[in-house]
Amino acid sequence: MKKLILTSTGLSNPKVIAELLDMQPDINKSVAIVVTASRDKENNPWNQLTKQQFLDAGFSRVDFVDLEFELNYDFSQCSVIFVSGGNTFKLLKFVQASSFLAQINLFLENGGIYIGSSAGSIIVADDISLAGWGSSADENEVGLEDLRALNITEVLVWPHYEESFETEVLAYEEKYQRQVHRLPNDQALVLRDSEIKLIK
């Protein structure tokens, strides 16, 4: 059973942590925080905060992982993979170049939990075209041409949603004939196979 939590701002809503602990009562395994997309990587204040939030929740080990330099990191010993935000194109470039793609489905099949924050929530779909759409689009700073992503769910999310983006979201839905889940900063989507639950 696939278990995913898609967010705009990670663990900032306490209900996200509560949901995580409900999904994963065994918190003795490690967490991998993938910092590849983030400015300043593990030194990014949001990533440092996320690590502390996991530790405060009782997780015994929290490691930072940068796929740009750790192409073959072994995620099999983790109970949670948290993929941080930042530039979605950069993130996907190194996801494609690393062994992450080969590992993620087995990780989920074995009961692992995937948590995405912003860019980390976008890449779970079949492609990241949404990341390059509209006034808040990420710049394709790495010249990525293959936009195919993890393809572990059909769910598309628009992170950091505000009403001012609604016209752009509707235009995307019209062009691609796909539903987009609007995800404000204080909300999250919990996916368990075909079940989708909104956390507010």
Distance CA 35, CA 126 (A): 21
Q: Strand, coil or helix: what is 101? A: helix
pLDDT value for 193: 75
Instruction: Give the up-direction half-sphere exposure of residue 146: CA atoms within 13 A in the CB hemisphere.
Output: 9
Tokens 């195919």 found at: 148
Distance CA 98, CA 90 (A): 12
pLDDT value for 88: 97
Distance CA 123, CA 92 (A): 7
Which one, of 120, 119, 117, 135, lies nearest residue 172 by Cα?
Answer: 135
Tokens 């306490």 found at: 14
pTM for this entry: 0.95
Q: Name all domains of the chain by residue range, CATH numbers in brackets.
A: 3-199 (3.40.50.880)
pLDDT value for 171: 97
pLDDT value for 26: 75
Which one, of 4, 3, 44, 9, lies nearest residue 187 by Cα?
Answer: 9
Using CA atoms in the order 20, 25, 28, 34, what is the torsion angle rounded to 10 degrees?
-20
Phi and psi at 83, nearest 5°, equal -105, 115
pLDDT value for 30: 92
* Ranges under pLDDT 70 in the chain: none
The C-alpha angle 104, 12, 164, rounded to 5 degrees, equals: 95
Instruction: Point out which residues pair with 62 in neighbouring strands.
Output: 31
Instruction: Give the up-direction half-sphere exposure of residue 54: CA atoms within 13 A in the CB hemisphere.
Output: 26
